[in-house]
Amino acid sequence: MTRALNVPGIAYGGDYNPEQWPEEVWAEDMRLMAEAGVTMVSVNIFSWALLEPSEGTYDFSRLDRVLDLLHAHGIAADLATPTAAPPAWFFVAHPDALPVDGDGRRLSYGSRQTFCPSSPAYREAALRMVGELARRYADHPAVVMWHVHNEYGCHNAECFCDTSAEAFRAWLQDRYASLDALNNAWGTTFWSQWYYDWDQILPPRATGAVPNPTHRLDWRRFCSDALLSLYEAERDVLREAAPDTPATTNFMVMYNFDALDYWRWAPELDIVSNDHYLQSADPESEIDIALSGDLVRSLAGGPWLLMEHSTGAVNWQPVNRAKTAGELRRNALAHVARGADGIAYFQWRAAKAGAEQWHSAMLPHAGTDSQIWRDVVQLGADLRALAEVRGSTTPAEVAVVWDWNARWAMELPSQPSGELHYQDLVRDWYEPLWRAGVAVDFVRPDADLSPYRLVLAPSLYLVDDEGAANLTAFAERGGTLAVGFHSGMVDANCHVRLGGYPGAFREALGVRTDELFPLLPGQTVALSDGGTGTLWSERVRLEGAEAVTSYTTGPLAGVPAVTRNAHGTGSAWYLSTRPDPATLADLLDRVRAEAGVTAVRTAPAGVEAVLRRGPEADYLFLINHGTADATVPVAPGAVELLTGKPVGDTVAVPAGEVAVVREPHRR
């Protein structure tokens, strides 16, 4: 059954927390939401303590009034289960449900997500709360979607208590079936770690030396699955009461969160949604928006919802910068360009008390006489003008391999270099594609690659046999594959693939490395094309491949640095170092040209060009991040949707502004 969101056009709104305000404020909220063009709000996210003031005693009167008020004003409700913040009475009754950190400290309540994901008491109380909510509001006309929990794993991705240990052992028994299989998978003959009884296995708590890498990797897998099981349990209760109402939970596909394997989560959601916040220290945060949006669209397999972002500053970074002129609009429309069919903020009205009182909102502390409010109203008008874009897709000929298991494994301790950071390495390769206006999907290693001409694996330290075979077969069948250093090194159990590096990809790449030479911070190696490499280098030997670029300095002078191999009817490229940005961009341009991949549209520097394709027309998003006005060629008969005006052969995109052009399909 397909459960779709019943909100017309591009949904617009944010988290609405009326319980934080006197009831007389609610009427003003409704009036201002209409002015801003709000069509859907998320409610009840952190209201458990108000709905259930004591165990088994419920008071839904306030929520009844809120939902009735929203419906009376034509605003849809994304109704949340409030299970991310259990009330104080629950922890007084069940102190063992509080999480324990890796050092053995039991944490206290007084914040959010202060529960152990494996706690039976928490699960029982949460599902009881969800059941009451579902039965009461299953048929309420305001409710168009269930918002399950909130940001799973944001603060409690790991709990190291004895209850979690028991759950971890059960998960391991299901995965391995026997202790012999587990011991072999974990390589427990090393350091006398062999287990003779399941009860001897603990979570990877703080210990005196480096933990077993496979133990730690399986723990990350378990923690993701433990939270997923909570989501599924809540969703199933909601689905039983309201089988046609879609359910979602807000992912956190952003630079600083890696706790959950969203490839496993996404198929369990009726609608994929995401929260995204900018890193204040990132000078080009628009690239992170694009990368995140493309990854979420890929997880969803199509359009998705932006459930949270900020109108201005957040409150949880060392320095929380405000957004510059036009940035609110550019950020929001960049998410729409990357497939978002809904735009929402945390939160509607800025809080005057509590932990997030300095987090920006749609209605700021300054009220309606503020730039943020004027921008919020303008964005509402923009999204109304873009209603027809809803449901359109994003065609791409390039796939970038992204895998949470590979990320977790590569960032474990005792790597050849502690300077390896998965997201940075992927962004290195993504950025030149973004600048060139090349459409990108993200894929699992075992995904269907037939839609693509070019597949990039910037960082795939861990890859299982199926994924490796899938990627190399893509090249063998005529595709172009490019692989980054330290990829293919270990199997699914984090065991080194013997015989030389890069392990699983050695034959397809036509190279063999016998020793790694990671570089110190600030150290570089010169390349024969005039560029430089940082972070990493290898002693590469050609075994069928040709050298494209070689090292020219240091102990590896004359050794190939970048190679190309004819594999089957396709080709496989290998980059054994981290080239400087200009050199990497040139290399990827060359690889793209070989694969026959072109840009969405030629645009001036600083102008982001993104295409969404509908059944009747193309929608070209042009976002000018630069300081100079620009013009971009468009197809005859094009219309600029944000103004409603036809355009000629070009469309003007002033500095800091956005244009969205509807064009006839290009052949």
Known catalytic residues?
A: 151, 308
d(CA 475, CA 572): 6
Cβ(242)–Cβ(139) below 8 Å: yes
d(CA 4, CA 178): 43
d(CA 343, CA 378): 13
DSSP-derived secondary structure letter, 527: B
d(CA 288, CA 359): 20
> What are the DSSP E strand ranges found in 233-279?
247-248, 250-251, 273-275
The 3 state secondary structure assigned to 603-629 is CCCCEEEEEEECCCCEEEEEEECCCCC
The angle subtended at Cα 300 by Cα 298 and Cα 304, nearest 5°, is 110
d(CA 106, CA 125): 20
Dihedral sign for Cα atoms in the order 234, 239, 242, 247: positive
d(CA 291, CA 286): 9
DSSP readout, 365-398? TTTTSSHHHHHHHHHHHHHHHTGGGTT-B---SE
As a whole number of Å, the end-to-end CA separation of the chain is: 34
Cβ(518)–Cβ(496) below 8 Å: no
Cβ(264)–Cβ(232) below 8 Å: no
Place of tokens 């940001």: 151
d(CA 481, CA 471): 8
d(CA 271, CA 514): 47
> What are the DSSP E strand ranges found in 570-613?
570-575, 578-579, 607-613
Q: What would the two tokens of residue 372 be?
A: 């943020």
Question: 174, exposed or middle or buried, with CB in 10 Å at 0-12, 13-18, 19+?
Answer: exposed
Cβ(31)–Cβ(43) below 8 Å: no
Place of tokens 């991040």: 625
d(CA 369, CA 162): 54
Going by C-alpha positions, the residue among 177, 171, 272, 297 that lies closest to residue 227 is: 171
DSSP-derived secondary structure letter, 551: B
Cβ(61)–Cβ(380) below 8 Å: no
CA 554 centroid distance within chain: 39
Cβ(123)–Cβ(81) below 8 Å: no
d(CA 101, CA 414): 22
Q: Which residues, at least 6 apart from 283, have a Cβ–Cβ distance to it below 8 Å?
A: none
d(CA 604, CA 436): 9
d(CA 513, CA 533): 17
The 3 state secondary structure assigned to 38-52 is CCEEEECCCCHHHHC
Q: Hey, what's the torsion of the CAs at 202, 208, 214, 219, to 10 degrees?
A: 40
d(CA 475, CA 146): 43
